[in-house]
Amino acid sequence: MKNALSGILTVLAVWVCVAVAAPEPAIVPALGVWTIEVTFENPQQISIRRGGPHGKPERFWYVIVTLTNNTGQDVEFYPKCDLLTDTFEVLGAVKGASPALIGKIKARHQQKYPFLEPLETVGTKVLEGEDNVKEVAVIFPDFDAKAKGVKIFISGLSNETVAVEHPVRKDASGGPVKVYLRKTLELSYKLGGDPAFRAEQKLEFEGKRWVMR
């Protein structure tokens, strides 16, 4: 138990050190650095039954983001999306979401987002111009019911990067390992409602910012 607690404290200490030391995105972008314009909806929850109408319900959360490339050029798009709770649970975006789940999300938003697609089918390029807007559903599994707040991180929206030294890990020569951070959109939410009535809980927007992560 003592060793396990020590390990947890070490991981948290490293996380705090990296978070404190991480640089901020540039106020004025350097030549050649681009950022896709992005708007978003508050995350919503949705449930489907696995194995048909009598199967066990499974809950998911999703956020719809709209990507507009006004950089003047087509850009590469290699996103990474994570959800972090205030109980330190980290969840990556769902890969291989079922057609039933995707269909239910698309049907819910058909009028406002007729071209909505899941993150994994967007492709590796966002073409330039208003005619090539991407409407993307980023889906996450249900998170810790004890959480009172979450942050959603979306990277791949910019080619701005920076290298920092890892506070603990060493390379073969004994020097600090280089960690490469990407400009990332951070969305913060608090969870409203009674946890006893999970299906009625909603994520309330608290703020957004760009970070290097």
Per-residue pLDDT of the chain (213 residues; tens, 9 = 90+): 555 444 444 444 444 454 545 689 988 888 999 999 999 999 999 999 877 677 788 999 999 999 999 999 999 999 999 999 999 999 999 999 999 999 999 999 999 999 999 999 999 999 999 999 999 999 999 999 999 999 999 999 999 999 888 888 888 887 888 889 999 999 999 998 888 888 899 999 999 999 999
| DSSP class of 79 | -
CB 121 within 8 A of CB 46: no
**178: amino acid identity, one letter:** K
Question: How many CA atoms does the CB half-sphere of 189 hold within 13 Å?
Answer: 24
Quote the pLDDT of residue 151: 98
Q: What is the count of structural domains for the chain?
A: 1
SS3 of the chain: helix, strand, coil, percent, to 5:
20, 45, 35
> Domain containing 21: what range?
2-212
CB 157 within 8 A of CB 38: yes
Helix or strand holding residue 168 (H, E)? strand 161-170
Quote the pLDDT of residue 10: 46
